[in-house]
Amino acid sequence: MSSIGSNTNLTCYRVIYGDTDKMGVVYYANYLRWFEQGRSELLREMGTPYAAIEERGMHFPVAEVSCRYFKSARYDDLILIETRLTSVSRASLTFAYQIRREADATLLASGSTKHACIDNQGRISRIGIDLVRHWREHPEALMTR
């Protein structure tokens, strides 16, 4: 398993009414959608949008997820989704997330996702060495420790 440096992607999102319950508080599962949004933007920023990964015959379904909630996001809040790729092993990736309210930098939630690498038939597969090499050779997006 290799450790990945501290470079991050920061994505902004405005909470819409459809994200909330009757009281204007964000429904808890939406934080997982925001993890996905941050992860997609990070991969795109690293030069490997998810569609390009799928074209290589690889898929990264979520195998584990963790989310700890600290404060509630509310309707019309502007939130910041900070995403880091924290580790890459032969057949998995791990991302870490922090979600903050932009107005006061309050930490709303933090968490992580671990993704298995599978092929088009759904079998566990090694992450393509060319993909790992690409991530390591682009220090502007990612630094290997």
- Per residue in 71-124, pLDDT tens? 999 999 999 999 999 888 999 999 999 999 999 999 999 999 999 999 999 999
pLDDT band at residue 2 under the 50/70/90 scheme: very low
Residue 77 annotated among the catalytic residues of the structure: no
Computed from CA positions of residues 55, 58, 61, 62, in that sequence, does the dihedral angle turn out positive or negative? negative
pLDDT band for 4, please (50, 70, 90 cuts).
Answer: very low
Look up residue 108 and give its amino acid. L
Point out the catalytic residue in the list 19, 21, 76, 77.
Answer: 21
Per DSSP, what are the bridge partners of residue 88?
Answer: 2, 93
The answer to whether residues 82 and 88 touch, using CB atoms and an 8 Å cutoff, is no
Report the amino acid identity of residue 141: A
Task: Compute the distance between CA of residue 65 and CA of residue 52 in angstroms, rounded to an integer.
Answer: 24
Q: What is the mean pLDDT of the chain?
A: 89
CB 42 within 8 A of CB 85: yes
The per-residue pLDDT for 138 is 60
β-strand pairing of 78-88 with 9-14: antiparallel
CA dihedral 35→39→45→48, nearest 10 degrees, is -160
Give the amino acid at 48: T
Domains and CATH numbers, the chain: 2-136 (3.10.129.10)
pLDDT of residue 3: 38
What's the rounded Cα separation, in Å, for the pair 25 and 110? 17
Provide the whole-model pTM.
0.88
**Residues in CB range of 132: below 8 A, 6 or more apart:** 2, 88
For 25-68, write each residue's pLDDT tens digit. Answer: 999 999 999 999 999 999 998 888 999 999 999 999 999 999 99
Of 16, 15, 145, the C-alpha closest to 78 is 15
